[in-house]
Amino acid sequence: MAAGPILIGLAVLWLHRACGHLDVAIGAIAVMGAYLFAELLARTSFTMALVGAALASGVVMLTIFVAVYSPLRRRGAGSSTVLLASFGLYICLSNLVSLCTQDVAATPKLSEPPLFAVSGLTDGQVLLFSAAAAMTLLGEAVLRLTRTGLALRAVAENPDLATASGISARHVAVLAALGAGALAGIAGALTALDTGVVPSSGLGLMIAGAVAVIVAGLRSPLAVAGAALAVAALQQATVIWLEPQIKDGLTYLLLFAAIYWYRHRLVGATAG
Amino acid sequence: MDYLAHVLVLLSIQLILVASLNLVAGVTGMLSVAHAAFLGLGAYTAGLVTTRLGLAFPADMAASALVAGIGGWVIGGWASRLKSDYLVLGTFAIQIAVFELFLNWTEVTGGAQGLRGVPRPELPVIGALNSPRQFLLLAAPVAIMAFWLCVRISDSPFGRLLRLVRDDEVLAMTLGKNSLAAKRAVFAFAAALAGVAGTLVARYLGFIQPFEFDALPSILVLAAVIVGGAGTRFGPLAGAALFVLLPEFLRQFGLPGPMIGNLRQIVFGALLVLCLLWLPQGLAGKSRDGD
């Protein structure tokens, strides 16, 4: 239940660290990835379909970064303006998907019988959970152990100082955009395997990821994963002990409470 | 003729929404994405007080404005402490939480089935406003009054305080102004106006569904503010006109309804991005008041 939000949360975190804004368009890119994955899976192997969807999603995110976010930042736009632009892009992309697919759900299926013999879990759930765990650990390792991760942290902490130290903030932002798009594509593809995806699913996917990122306080991938698990546990507890209908409303109130609580500490960096 | 009147009724409702959000987002600089929540609060209040309590016009409109205004006062109190993209995301979260309330509080709102049977209002002399032409006799004056009120507030000393808060909140506080109270007050006022628009929606359609008040309409109203020209006098008029007339224009090409809906949103999303990139002052940019 928390695996999709973890992957989207990692994409949101990745982009926020390098570009300094929260991005709603990631939700639409995840949905595009899901539909592309479903199309590719009908023609090729699972691995090729997933790689294709991730690559295409990464390229779409990179194009958006180069064509919209980067020019906006160069003109001195604040993070709220870039967030608004991402709302516009979300509307464009999700309606484009809706037009192209006639609102038919993307429900790709793996081969029968199930690949993994894990009781009570579908293949989609096993893959989604494995990908979330792997990407969290990989993200943590990249941030802590590699030069690119160090550059990303430097740009997130202080972009001016990072640039003065010879780090190309734009180069870092381009890499982050590509990575965030790919992560969103994978999240969309594996969510489609698990529950199916419709063109309007993007907003819910994105918000679930954003809740995890903001509850985690824009910290490390592990913190995002922990927050996503905590939010999912809270939702399950709501379903079991309270009313299932208030599950989503409670999540959004939690998001608002987290934003309110962290309002003096959530400061975005700028780059690009 | 009824078709033209129908379009003008829609334009009137949209004008109230865009002009009121322009006070919050354009004049004060609070990019709120929760306006459809207040529209919904107004619509459900009007629907409930007319169908269950039997209140007539204008008491239903006053009740809607009051409920939405109180909602705006409470939410505005929290939102005025948020800044930048966290204000956008915070109001967005509130918007979706309120939508979930509309959707799941079935005993009161009717849930996904909605509220049916909201009667058309009756005016003295004219009687029941059954046709779009008759309804326009109510909607147009209300919209003009709301627009005039917004312009008057924007041009008043309070409007100048709001622009100061938008441009330099620290300076406003240094001058002894209570910026939080000003932001909260304008948020509540705009919410009350959105509640008035909600009354018109409920009374015109006779049927209220929660999906009319989800996050997307909020984003589109904010897009209309920005595309029209945030903080400008006539920007809301341009934004509302574009918002209402675009689907009518697309209908000329004989496209099917769902495709028109998609295309309208694609065009609006693209216009929002293009305006942010190349026309930050919007279509009515040169008439920016206060500059």
Cα dist from B109 to B37, B194, B276, whole Å: 14, 18, 37
In angstroms, the separation between the Cα of residue A174 and the nearest Cα of chain B is 19
B84: its two tokens: 């930048």
Cα nearest neighbour of A89 on chain B: B269
pTM of the model: 0.86
Query: Which residues of A, range 71-90, sit inside 8 Å of B by Cβ?
Result: 71-72, 75, 77-85, 87-90
CA distance A36 to A178: 17
The answer to whether the CB of B118 falls within 8 A of the CB of B50 is yes
Encoded tokens for B250? 């697309």
- Whole-Å CA distances, B251 to A97, B158, B224: 21, 42, 20
Residues of chain A whose pLDDT is less than 70? 1-2, 111-120, 263-272
The answer, for A259 touching chain B at a CB cutoff of 8 Å, is yes
Contact A249 B97 (CB under 8 A): yes
pLDDT bracket for residue B288 (50, 70, 90) = very low
What integer pLDDT is reported at residue B287 of this predicted model? 45
Partner B contacted by A96 (CB < 8 A): yes
What is the pLDDT, as a whole number, of residue B248?
81
* pLDDT single digits (tens) B85-139: 788 888 988 898 899 889 988 888 888 888 988 899 888 878 888 888 999 999 9
Query: What SS3 string covers chain B?
Result: CHHHHHHHHHHHHHHHHHHHHHHHHHHCCCCCCCHHHHHHHHHHHHHHHHHCCCCCCCHHHHHHHHHHHHHHHHHHHHHCCCCHHHHHHHHHHHHHHHHHHHHHCHHHHCHHHCEECCCCCEECCCEECCCHHHHHHHHHHHHHHHHHHHHHHHHCHHHHHHHHHHHCHHHHHHCCCCHHHHHHHHHHHHHHHHHHHHHHHHHHHCEECHHHHCHHHHHHHHHHHHHHCCCECCHHHHHHHHHHHHHHHHHCCCCCHHHHHHHHHHHHHHHHHHHHHHCCCCCCHHHECCC
Per-residue confidence (pLDDT) for residue A107, from 0 to 100: 80
Nearest by CB: A245 against B92, B104, B277: B104
Distance from CA of A228 to the nearest CA of B (A): 17
Distance CA(A253)–CA(A214), nearest Å, equals: 12
To test the contact with chain A by mutation, choose from B84, B102, B109, B279 the residue with the greatest count of A C-beta atoms within 10 A, namely B84
Q: What is the pLDDT of residue B47?
A: 94
Residue owning tokens 């509080």:
B105
**Is the Cβ of A244 closer than 8 Å to some Cβ of chain B?**
no
ipTM over 0.95: no
**Closest residue on chain B to A254 (Cα):** B93
> Could you tell me if A206 lies within 8 Å of chain B, comparing CB atoms?
no
Instruction: Choose the mutation target among B31, B78, B86 for the interface with A, i.e. most A CBs under 10 Å.
Output: B86
pLDDT at A254: 78
Instruction: Return the closest-CA partner of residue A208 out of A193, A190, A230.
Output: A230
Are the Cβ atoms of A88 and B270 closer than 8 angstroms?
A: yes
A-B contacts at Cβ under 8 angstroms: 127
pLDDT at B164: 93
Amino acid at position B101, single letter: L
Record: contact B273-A92, CB cut-off 8 A: yes
**pLDDT above 70 as % of chain B:** 97
Q: β-strand B122-123 against B127-128: which pairing, if any? A: antiparallel
Contact in structure between B242 and B224 (CB atoms under 8 Å): yes
Q: Kindly determine whether residue A252 and residue B93, on different chains, have CB atoms separated by under 8 Å.
A: yes
Q: Which of B163-172, B227-236, B277-286 has the highest mean pLDDT?
A: B163-172
Chain B's closest residue to A68, CA to CA, is B277
B178-211 pLDDT, tens digit each: 999 999 999 999 999 999 999 999 999 999 999 9
B81–A246 CB contact, under 8 Å: no
Residue B5 confidence (pLDDT): 92
Of B86, B97, B215, the CB nearest to A266: B86
CB contact under 8 A, B96 and A248: yes
pLDDT at A214: 81
pLDDT in the model for residue A268 = 41
Q: Cα separation of A47 and A125, whole Å?
A: 16
Q: State the Cα–Cα distance between residues B169 and B161, nearest whole angstrom.
A: 10
Q: Which chain B residues have any C-beta within 8 angstroms of a chain A C-beta?
A: 31, 33, 78, 81-90, 92-94, 96-97, 100-101, 103-104, 215-216, 219-220, 222-223, 226, 258-259, 262-263, 265-266, 268-273, 276-277
Q: For B29-48, how does the pLDDT look when each residue is reduced to its tens digit (9 = 90+)?
A: 898 999 999 999 999 999 99
Share of chain B above pLDDT 90, in %: 47
One-letter-per-residue 3-state SS of chain A: CCHHHHHHHHHHHHHHHHHCCCCCHHHHHHHHHHHHHHHHHCCCCHHHHHHHHHHHHHHHHHHHHHHHHHHHHHCCCCHHHHHHHHHHHHHHHHHHHHHHHCCCCECCCCCCCCCCCCCCCCHHHHHHHHHHHHHHHHHHHHHHHCHHHHHHHHHHHCHHHHHHCCCCHHHHHHHHHHHHHHHHHHHHHHHHHHCCECCCHHHHHHHHHHHHHHHCCCCCHHHHHHHHHHHHHHHHHHHHHCCHHHHHHHHHHHHHHHHHHCCCCCCCCCCC
Name the β-bridge partners of B45: none
Among B265, B224, B246, which Cα is nearest to A200's? B265
Residues 6 or more apart in contact with residue A215 via CB below 8 angstroms: A227, A230, A231, A254, A255, A258
Q: For residue A95, give how far its alpha carbon lies from the nearest alpha carbon of chain B (Å).
A: 5
For chain A, what's the residue count? 272
Contact residues on chain A for B96, CB-CB shorter than 8 A: 207, 248-249, 252
CB-closest option in A95, A255, A266 to B93:
A255
* Res A111: pLDDT: 66
Q: Would you state the pLDDT for residue B231?
A: 86
Judge whether residue B286 has pLDDT over 70. no
Q: How many C-alpha atoms does B116 have within 13 Å on its Cβ side?
A: 2
Q: Which residues pair with B123 in a beta bridge?
A: B127
- Best probe of the A interface among B81, B89, B109, by most A CBs < 10 A, is B89
